[in-house]
Structure 1
Amino acid sequence: MTLTLRFKYLAIFLSLWLISCTEVPKDLLRQQVISAEGTVAGAISPVSQLLAVSSLTSGIIVWDLQAGNAKFRLSHGDPTQNLVTHLVFSADGKYLLSADQVNVALWDLQDGKNLGFWAMQAGVTVRDIAVSDYGRHLLIGQSDGKIQHITLKSGRRLEFQGHSENINAVALSPNGRYALTGSSDLHSYFWDTDSAQILHSVSHPNRVTRVALDTQGRYLFSADSLQQAQLLDIRSGRVLSKLKLERGRVFSSARFSSDGKWLLTGSPSQRASVWNVQTGQLVKDWAVSPSPYAKPPGAVVYDVALLNNGQLLTLSSSGLAEYWEFKP
């Protein structure tokens, strides 16, 4: 029996196991098994039918949802030695940025070609990453509190030193001109990548763990490790709303819907959620299928996206892409 055939059988078995051992929520429409082994990172492309996961032994899998199979298999080398812990698509869906602890790599999704590797300085690790449209600009948040903004064509590097502690989350506007960064120093900053000038500052009572930018340039999101999560108007810096949260709720992912009405979030506790941007009210909650590798059973939600047909798509550490009915 070939390895490919074994993998197919394993994927089928995993799917059947999950269905038989888990009560299927009524809002769950269908599932796709992306990886039949443990995963440590994942991302959904904003505009195309692609998603990506980082597996424990197989490197990066770029998955075509429409075809139902792997489009590319990418690697930073031996995945057991260089485990990829961060994945993010450009807003145009044409490029993928990946990172292990000390290396960042850019990939062209037309042919799977690698466009470059960037290594951290000794003693510095990658904390979060972002990439602009056309792969023109990279943003790298580091453990030393610094942020690198790299322009590929010119080779220009701007080092933002506005934070005083390690970086936990970064986001980049589609054109690469503006960045939103969050740190353990209790602040998130919205700043100009041309000048490093801080345009807006958001203060938190706890370390900032998640940030997001609306791709249309309307809103920004900043959340800390305990209870404060705010939505702001990008132009004025005015707080639009605060999410109505129970204490201790942490976000593993966040993105805005294309129309700007909703904030889509994932959590380390299986939860995918939709929030009203203007009011901060929770609109809908889902519990994704648990990972068979987690004890006790659970799953980290890597990404949540709202599709053109109105369905919600989630990607989690269970290795599953799941489609959900969403009726606001």
Structure 2
Amino acid sequence: MIVTKIDTFGGHRDCVYALAPGTDPGTFFSAGGDGQVVRWQLGKPDQGELLAKVPASVYSVTLQPDTSLLWIGQNYDGVHLIDTLRKEAVGSLNITTSAIFALDFYKNDAFVALGDGVVVVIDTENRAVRRHLKASDQAARCLAINPVERELAVGYSDNSVRIFDLTTLDLNRVIPAHTNSVFALTYSPDYRYLLTGSRDAHLKVWDVEKGYALHQDIVAHLFTINRIAYSPDGRLIATGSMDKSVKLWDAETFRLLKVVDRARHAGHGTSVNSVCWLDNQTLLSASDDRTISVWNVQ
């Protein structure tokens, strides 16, 4: 495997926490501690387009499927909606005074993970709160949707993962997954596995079809795993960590294929907070060093 750094996007004035693919090929969004939400185009690192500026940190930005609406989770001030085509704010939902750590969608529902342990379920058509899921007193840090089994996985700072029914919103299962906060999780593209990453630096693979039995436990990083992302073709997994590295894994065997770091690849000098694939060869990584790196993976 050959990994080459092809660009660096600077412009943020604080840590970059969130990345999301854009509506057009080669575009993406970023947000961070400076409250800026920026749209970028590959190959044009000096031409970032400011879409929004909010007065607090942004930990999550996500495009609502089949729309041009970008949902922005602002620290301590709810959710803001930006029409990325018209480049203007179109709505705001003051649902919380807690930090918003993750946003995800299923059909007409939006799920918002909060620092007070609540997951807020929002009707996207009416933009109204439909339900509060309160299953822990500690922060809900990450979300993942399994449309096949109709399940919602939520990772918490109490070291556990909870599985909710997407139809009834009932709590189906509690998995004592890690020895520290669960900061990252994602389902495999075939929804056979759930992958979780934690402050304990372990990457764990859970077999969904076997009742979330532990399939593999990998000591993957030196410090917190902040994000896990599958490549679009499902062949590779990228993890980003507080240990300043991005690691690439074989999605079939979960074998480590490549370590992308500062010493070997002119990578980040501080925590890698997010990773995001734009296509099977283009991987983004965002860091506390205020930059976004673009990697070509062959």
TM over 0.5: yes
Q: SS where residue 200 of structure 2 aligns?
A: coil
What is the distance in 2 between the residues matched to 1:157 and 1:255?
A: 29
What is the distance in 1 between the residues matched to 2:225 and 2:18?
A: 14
Task: Tell me which residue corresponds to 1:6.
Answer: none
Match of 2:142 among 159, 169, 181: 169
CA contact (8 A) 1:41 1:87 kept: no
What is the distance in 2 between the residues matched to 1:36 and 1:125?
A: 23
Match of 1:45 among 14, 21, 38: 21
What is the distance in 1 between the residues matched to 2:147 and 2:79?
A: 19
The amino acid of 2:170's aligned partner reads Q
1:107 aligns with 2:89: no
Match of 2:272 among 301, 309, 323: 301
Task: Tell me which residue corresponds to 1:323.
Answer: 294
1:74 aligns with 2:74: no
Alignment deviations for residues 206-231 of structure 1 (CA, whole Å, 9 cap, x no partner)? 23222223455343222222143212
Q: SS where residue 229 of structure 1 aligns?
A: strand
What is the distance in 2 between the residues matched to 1:143 and 1:287?
A: 30
Match of 1:184 among 139, 157, 161: 157
Give the 5 Å matches for 1:16-95.
27-35=3-11, 37-45=13-21, 48-54=25-31, 59-65=36-42, 68=45, 69-76=47-54, 79=55, 82-90=56-64, 94-95=68-69
State how many pairs are aligned.
Answer: 288
Q: SS where residue 252 of structure 1 aligns?
A: strand
Give 5+ residue unaligned stretches, structure 2.
none
What is the distance in 1 between the residues matched to 2:191 and 2:81?
A: 24
CA contact (8 A) 2:7 2:43 kept: no
Instruction: Classify 1:44/1:223 alpha carbon distance in 2 versus 1 (closer, same or farther; 3 Å).
Output: same
Deviation of 1:270 (Å): 2.0
Task: Tell me which residue corresponds to 1:245.
Answer: 220
CA RMSD, Structure 1 to Structure 2 (Å): 3.2
Instruction: Classify 1:235/1:116 alpha carbon distance in 2 versus 1 (closer, same or farther; 3 Å).
Output: farther
- TM-score when normalising by structure 2: 0.80
What is the distance in 2 between the residues matched to 1:50 and 1:167?
A: 29
Which one has a larger percent helix, Structure 1 or Structure 2? Answer: 1
Instruction: Classify 1:266/1:160 alpha carbon distance in 2 versus 1 (closer, same or farther; 3 Å).
Output: same
What is the distance in 2 between the residues matched to 1:115 and 1:133?
A: 21
Instruction: Classify 1:28/1:260 alpha carbon distance in 2 versus 1 (closer, same or farther; 3 Å).
Output: closer
What is the distance in 2 between the residues matched to 1:201 and 1:276?
A: 28
Which one has a larger percent strand, Structure 1 or Structure 2? Answer: 2
Deviation of 1:300 (Å): 2.6
Using CA pairs below 8 Å that are at least 6 residues apart, which structure has the higher relative contact order? 2
Alignment deviations for residues 236-291 of structure 1 (CA, whole Å, 9 cap, x no partner)? 42433222435x43112111222333221111232111123343321111015567
Deviation of 1:56 (Å): 5.5
What is the distance in 2 between the residues matched to 1:31 and 1:93?
A: 29
Task: Tell me which residue corresponds to 1:7.
Answer: none
The amino acid of 1:202's aligned partner reads I
